[in-house]
Amino acid sequence: MKDVTSTSVNPFKEDPPDEAAVKRAAVDAAALQFVRQLGRDLAHGEFDLPPFPDTPLRVQECIRDPNSDIHALAAIVATEPALAARLMRMANSAMMRRGPIEVTDIPTAISRVGMDMVQNAAVSFAGREAFKAPAGSPCIDDLNQLRRRSVMVGSLAYLLARRVRAIKKADEAMLAGLLSNVGKLYIVMKAADHPELFVDREALERLVGQWHTGVARAIVESWGFPEAIAVAVDEQEIRERDRLAPADLSDLLFVANLVARAGNRAAEALGELDALARMRLTGEELAGILEDGQEELESMVAAMS
C-alpha cells in the first residue's frame, strides 16, 4: 500500500506570509517611526531645518534695513542670475507691467514691482534651493509638484488680496501663499529616508495632511518671517470660522488652495465657505475675479516657475 503520509499536508505548518501584509506592516512601521520623530521635533523645536539660502537672506536683510535703497538691493539680486531673471520676468508679467515699455535692468524692475515683491521673488527662489533632494530620490517629483503649487497659491492669494478690502498688503498675501507648502516640502523630503512610505501614497498623504501646517509654522518662524505669515500657514486649513469677522491671510490661503486644486470652474460652488463670507465675496464673484485675472495669473505663475 502506498504511504500517503509523506505527501500529505502538515496541519501544523504555517502558511507563507502574505506579501501585501508584509508590505503593509513595513509601511506602518516606517510611518510610526516617522511620526514619533516628527512629534518630538515639533514638541521641542528641534527641526533639522535647511538654512535659508544666502542670497534670499541678504535680500531680506536689505529690505528690512531702513537705510537701504533700490541700488543696494539691485546689487544683491545681481549676484544671483537665476533670481535676477525671475525678478525681470515678474516685472514684465501682465500682472505687474504698466504700459508697453519692457523692463531691461534690475533697478527699474525693483522700482516697478516694489521691494516687498522682490522678497517674494527671493522666497520663490529659496524654496527651490532650500529643499533639494539628491539624484534618484523618490521625492523629487513630489517636491517639484509642491513648488509649482506654492507658486500658484501665492499668485492666487495676491490676485484675491487686491479685491478684498480687509487685506491691506497684497504682497504679504503672496508671501504667505509661497510659504503655504513649506511644511509639505519638509515632510516629503524627510520621508525620503523611509522609501516604504513612497510605496503607499495614501499613507504618505495622510502624514503630510496631519502634520504640514504645524511644521510650516515652525519653519516660517525659524526663518524670521512676520507673525501674520506664521499664523496664516498654520491656520490655512481651518474651515469653520466666524463669518462676520473680517478676512485674514488664512482665508485667502484656504480659498487659493481650493482653487489651485480644483480649478477656476469650481469657484462658483464655493459660495457657502466661511472664508468667502469673511472676504465678502460670493462664489459667482470669485469666479468673475478669476476669469478677469486669468491672464495676469498665468503670467505671474510663469514668471516665478
Q: What's the 3-state SS for the chain? A: CCCCCCCCCCCCCCCCCCHHHHHHHHHHHHHHHHHHHHHHHHHHCCCCCCCCCHHHHHHHHHHHCCCCCHHHHHHHHCCCHHHHHHHHHHHCCCCCCCCCCCCCCHHHHHHHHCHHHHHHHHHHHHHHHHCCCCCCCCCHHHHHHHHHHHHHHHHHHHHHHCCCCCCCCHHHHHHHHHCCCHHHHHHHHHHCCCHHHHCCHHHHHHHHHHHHHHHHHHHHHHCCCCHHHHHHHHCCCCCCCCCCCCCCHHHHHHHHHHHHHHCHHHHHHHCCCHHHHHCCCCHHHHHHHHHHCHHHHHHHHHHHC
- Rounded to an integer, what distance in angstroms lies between the CA atom of residue 11 and that of residue 95? 74
Backbone angles phi, psi at 234, to 5 degrees: -75, -35
Which regions of the chain are under pLDDT 50? 1-9, 12
> How far, in whole angstroms, is CA 256 from its chain's centroid?
11
Q: What is the pLDDT of residue 6?
A: 47
Domains belonging to the chain, first-starting first, are 50-130 (no CATH), 134-304 (1.10.3210.10)
pLDDT for res 187? 87
Q: What is the pTM of this model?
A: 0.82
Separation of alpha carbons 121 and 119, rounded Å: 5
Answer positive or negative: Cα dihedral of 172, 174, 179, 180: positive
Q: What is the pLDDT of residue 45?
A: 65
Closest CA to 180 of 112, 267, 263, 120: 120
pLDDT of residue 132: 80
**Which pLDDT score is estimated for 260?**
93
pLDDT at 16 (0 to 100): 55
Cα–Cα distance for residue pair 126/26, rounded to 1 Å? 34
Q: Give me the pLDDT at residue 96, please.
A: 87
Query: 172 near 289, Cβ under 8 Å?
Result: no
